[in-house]
Structure 1
Amino acid sequence: MSSKIKGTICGVFAAISYGMNPLGALNLYQEGLNVNSVIFYRYGLATTILALIMLAQKKSFAITRREFAVLSVLGVLMVVSSLALFGSFNFMDAGIASTLLFVYPVMVAVMMAIFFKEKVTPITVISISLALGGISLLYKGGDGATLSTVGVLLVMASSLTYAVYIIVVNKSALIMSSVKLTFYVLLIGTVLLLAYSFMGEDTRIQPLTTVTMWVYAMVLAVFPTIISLILMVIAVHNVGSTPTAVMGALEPITAVCIGIFVFGEAFTLRLGIGIILILAAVILIVAGKSLPTQHFTFVFSKIGHVLKKKWRWKS
């Protein structure tokens, strides 16, 4: 398997797994847990599972001072991103937060261009535009309500720190397995969350008192944490920061599918077109380096002409 195919597959499944965050988090909120407790159990359980995997594989836990410094930076970035995102769920719907979160590919592309002189190709611009357009269709708002300023700022902070996390993973040149890297990031994050729990009553760690709570905590630990972060590291190392970030557009699709199949929400033409646009963006960013930009421009102009002719758009 080529590195590009491997990275693409990992990027796709990383995004799908990360999109399962609301499934565990919102249910734990309903059980009465605060934000810090939810993330603490997410990280703590994931760290324990990864430690057992490394022990079973007889992998070394040894790291150098330089590696510890980089891993500490990654741990701080991941904690801040998680606290900000999960905190935003208290100020707006998780679907809206997931929609706003997707500004991070734009942030990745801009920072890579400014700080690392990475060329922003027309294909990258088209991919991001398609993804943003598709995600805007997945947002089912329209009741005229004003978005919470605090909620928006929290999501923007989460997007920025996650974008920096992806770039640091790509540019740090850490020589270790994705499992080991993720283990230390989450271990450092768990320690930081434990320290943060002593800051006040609202941040103290609350116990998991029911089997249901443990199940939701394990869902958070396994899917949007272990699976997502490990696969994301592999994807970044094989296809780069920006393509991996663009493939993250599959995250809100996961949220939509959860709403349809788990909570019985309706599937509409609007959602269908949004999903098609996002899938087109992912396919484009994956195949873009091997096919000419003019080809895609022609194809998407034809698609737009057909849609305009066949469908009457409704807001």
Structure 2
Amino acid sequence: MIVEKNSHASIMKSVSPQVAGYSMAVVGSVSYGLNPLFALPLYGVGVTPMSVLFYRYGLTVLLMGLLMAVLGQPFHATRRQLVLSLAMGQLFALSSVCLFVSFKLMDAGIASVILFTYPMFVALISWACFHERLSRVALVSFILAFAGICCLHGDSGGRQSVLGVVMAVASGLSYAVYIVGVNRSVLRTMPAFSLTFYASLSGLVLFFVCCGFGLDLSPLHGASSWGCAAGLALFPTIVSLLLVTRSIHLIGSTPAAIIGALEPITALAVSLLVFGGTLTWLNVAGVVLVLFAVCLMMWKNH
């Protein structure tokens, strides 16, 4: 056992912080892109989006609470932090609602690509509300992203496709407001574990109410359904949060944010390879435009 521990320690020491940081960013980003992999099978057996989110947030609160207890992370928060984290949790939950509803209205991979525009909304909100500088590169990126979203509408032209795009954009906007709210308040100094725990708890209460205080909650039947619900809580939520947060400390926010482009790429790959989604050449052009626009803006403005 002593030999094994020493060997393990020497291996960890041989891995540079840069390699570890980039590896964590890749795994964390890919994990977040697995949302469709676990959500769509639940939709397929009749579980409603609100019920899916209730189970996701409920298991997230449970697993995060256990993890915090094991790691000795603090549950304590000041009254102001607690109130604000619960309020921000409603925005976080709204973003989840819009995204998961869009999964039912359009291709889940394309919806995830549109969600990836949230850094642009962050820049726009910061410019409009806090008078931060908006560079020419950012303006060009906005135009490219808008053109990409128009391409992602596809050829269907149906009302559902339009509504799906609107919901995906609303998800990105809600998430951007959440990020700005956290970074511009006392929550900025709140530990990531505590913030996620209380924000998820706030969302859990919302989804419980939206499910008729549990009366309209779709039941989960079988190990497969429970496995999907647990997968949603574990990979796109807890694993993604912990690894991406740690990678930012090791390699910086810009490289980690650019590697975040793997999130929508993963979701798109899952949609195409696992669930038989289809892409037109116009859709492909839209994906390229959105990813290029967001990565360009983040690279030039950090």
The normalised TM-score by structure 2 is 0.75
What pairs up with 1:264-275 in 2 under 5 angstroms?
A: none
Q: 1:140 to 1:247 in 2, by over 3 A?
A: farther
- Helix, strand or coil at the partner of 1:206: coil
Picking from 103, 115, 118, the partner of 1:104 is 118
- What's the RMSD between the two structures over aligned residues? 3.7
- Give the CA deviation at 1:30: 0.5
| Residue equivalent to 1:221 | 233
- CA–CA separation in structure 1 for the residues paired with 2:280 and 2:170: 31
- Give the CA deviation at 1:264: 6.2
The normalised TM-score by structure 1 is 0.72
- CA–CA separation in structure 1 for the residues paired with 2:113 and 2:295: 20
Q: 1:116 to 1:125 in 2, by over 3 A?
A: same
- Give the CA deviation at 1:38: 0.3
- Helix, strand or coil at the partner of 1:208: coil
Code of the aligned partner of 1:162: Y
| Residue equivalent to 2:190 | 176
- Give the CA deviation at 1:93: 2.7
Q: Are the counterparts in 2 of residues 135 and 249 from structure 1 also a CA contact under 8 Å?
A: no
In structure 1, runs of 5+ residues without a counterpart are: 291-315
- Helix, strand or coil at the partner of 2:105: coil
Q: Is 1:58 paired with 2:72?
A: yes
- CA–CA separation in structure 2 for the residues paired with 1:262 and 1:150: 24
Q: Are the counterparts in 1 of residues 115 and 168 from structure 2 also a CA contact under 8 Å?
A: yes
- CA–CA separation in structure 2 for the residues paired with 1:10 and 1:121: 30
- CA–CA separation in structure 2 for the residues paired with 1:16 and 1:30: 23
Identical pairs, percent:
40
| Residue equivalent to 1:211 | 223
Code of the aligned partner of 1:168: G
What pairs up with 1:107-122 in 2 under 5 angstroms?
A: 107-122=121-136
Q: Is 1:191 paired with 2:210?
A: no
| Residue equivalent to 1:310 | none
Code of the aligned partner of 1:63: A
Q: Is 1:95 paired with 2:73?
A: no
- Give the CA deviation at 1:40: 0.8
Picking from 155, 159, 166, the partner of 1:142 is 155
Q: 1:198 to 1:264 in 2, by over 3 A?
A: closer
- CA–CA separation in structure 2 for the residues paired with 1:125 and 1:278: 13
| Residue equivalent to 2:41 | 27
| Residue equivalent to 1:255 | 267
What pairs up with 1:233-252 in 2 under 5 angstroms?
A: 239=253, 244=257, 249-252=261-264
Equivalent pairs, count: 282
- CA–CA separation in structure 1 for the residues paired with 2:153 and 2:206: 36
- Helix, strand or coil at the partner of 1:198: coil
Picking from 162, 165, 184, the partner of 2:175 is 162
Q: 1:164 to 1:144 in 2, by over 3 A?
A: closer
| Residue equivalent to 1:42 | 56
In structure 2, runs of 5+ residues without a counterpart are: 1-15
Code of the aligned partner of 1:171: R
Q: Are the counterparts in 2 of residues 79 and 189 from structure 1 also a CA contact under 8 Å?
A: yes
Picking from 62, 68, 74, the partner of 2:88 is 74
| Residue equivalent to 1:294 | none
- Give the CA deviation at 1:127: 4.8
| Residue equivalent to 2:5 | none
- CA–CA separation in structure 2 for the residues paired with 1:74 and 1:106: 19
